[in-house]
Amino acid sequence: MEKHKVIEIVNRVRETKPLIHNMTNIVVANFTANGLLALGASPVMASYEGEVADMAKIAGGLLLNIGTIHQQELDAMIIAGKSANVHQVPVVFDPVGIGATPYRTIASEKILQEVNVSIIRGNLAEISQLIGEQGEIKGVDGGEVYGNAIEITRRAAEHLRAVVIATGKDDIISDGTRTFVVHNGHPILTKVTGTGCLLSSVVAAFAAVERDFVQAAVAALIFYGVVAEVAAEKTVANGTGSFQIEFLNQLSNVSAKEIEQYGSFEQL
Ligand code: ATP
Ligand code: TZP
Ligand code: MG
Ligand code: MG
């Protein structure tokens, strides 16, 4: 995959403004909506079981995020996911905090059983938990992972028949056959809540315009990491509040030239 392909996909998102249906947690809803708008996509949040099938049907992408999951929302996610599947709308799943409590694990298993998920995005500890590997979870934050990150991601993709994205200092993207590592990003991202969750919605926006979901995911991760690097360069000395605002600015402003200059990734 070449950088010009990354730029082409970013431009397609900005030009076509895909509608992204987010079923996400109460912490990150506002940040997600503003982040998608800044990117050029069109966000909508809807979670009532009587409405979600119709919303998912007209969306370009559906995001299922279990950050503050409860039973009614889980039931609604399955209705939305099935509707998305029928209408060929790509589904992105973010298993926030899986393994922190039994309920999150059961909820994730239920979603993966009932819905054909195209892309799964979590921190490496969450991806490890998905395939029953040891990965420390403290609430929603990932900790130590015992095992090889690339092998874990590859195996998760094979086992779950989806494109899997495991994030951290390096981001790994695999469909079980093709595997990429993206080096972009900045540690300050871990100090602003919702940067992982927003990333999953951004991946949904890229999947809405690129049906090769590995390429969509790699492009989204490079773009997001470069956005963070440019925003951090301008604000890191001031603190996380300034960074969060500048990050939104750069979702709109990051240019083809900056992606070309700073994008850093490899195919294994
Ligand atoms: P957590 O809840 O553990 O923070 P998360 O779901 O927020 O996890 P992250 O793994 O933090 O997700 O990934 C969000 C973004 O932050 C990704 O773009 C990732 O590349 C980036 N990122 C995370 N840690 C680092 C790091 N140490 N250095 C650079 N970028 C990072
Ligand atoms: N609690 C439940 S969901 C959530 C918190 C703090 C947000 C998690 O956001 P992220 O993007 O995974 O760091
Ligand atoms: Mg985070
Ligand atoms: Mg997360």
Output the six-digit token pair for 148. 């090889």
Smallest CA-to-CA distance from 167 within 189, 191, 146 is with: 189
Q: What is the ipTM of this complex?
A: 0.97
Task: Tell me the pLDDT tens digit for each residue of 146-163.
Answer: 789 999 999 999 999 999
**Which residues make beta-bridge pairs with 62?**
21, 91
The rounded distance, in Å, linking the Cα atoms of 247 and 231 is 5
Q: How many residues does the chain have?
A: 268
Supply the pTM of this predicted model. 0.97
Task: Tell me the pLDDT tens digit for each residue of 45-101.
Answer: 999 999 999 999 999 999 999 999 999 999 999 999 999 999 999 999 999 999 999
**CB-CB neighbours of 192 under 10 Å:** 16
Residue 116 burial (CB < 10 Å; 0-12/13-18/19+)?
middle
The rounded distance, in Å, linking the Cα atoms of 192 and 198 is 11
Q: How far is the CA of 94 from the centre of ligand 1 (A)?
A: 13
Q: Which of 28, 170, 190 to mutate to test the pocket of ligand 1 (most atoms within 8 A of CB)?
A: 190
Output the six-digit token pair for 222. 């490079």
**CB-CB neighbours of 40 under 10 Å:** 18
pLDDT at 144 over 90: no
Q: Does residue 28's CB lie within 6 angstroms of at least one atom of ligand 2?
A: yes
pLDDT at residue 40, rounded to an integer: 98
Binding residue per annotation — 121? Answer: yes
Output the six-digit token pair for 116. 């054909």
The rounded distance, in Å, linking the Cα atoms of 208 and 59 is 9
pLDDT at residue 168, rounded to an integer: 96
Output the six-digit token pair for 204. 């949904």
Q: Which ligand does the CA of 35 lie closest to? A: 2
3-state helix, strand, coil in the chain (%, to 5): 55, 20, 30
Q: Which residue has its alpha carbon closest to ligand 2 atom 9?
A: 194
Give the CA angle between residues 130, 222, 253 to the nearest 5°. Answer: 130
**Which secondary-structure segment (H or E) carries 63?**
strand 61-65
Task: Tell me the pLDDT tens digit for each residue of 4-29.
Answer: 999 999 999 999 999 999 999 999 99
Half-sphere exposure of residue 252: CA atoms within 13 angstroms, side-chain side: 8
DSSP per-residue codes, 195-228? HHHHHHHHHHHHHHH-S-HHHHHHHHHHHHHHHH
Q: What is the mean pLDDT of the chain?
A: 96
According to DSSP, residue 139 is labeled T
Q: Which domains does the chain have, with CATH numbers?
A: 3-267 (3.40.1190.20)
Q: Which ligand does the CA of 104 lie closest to? A: 2
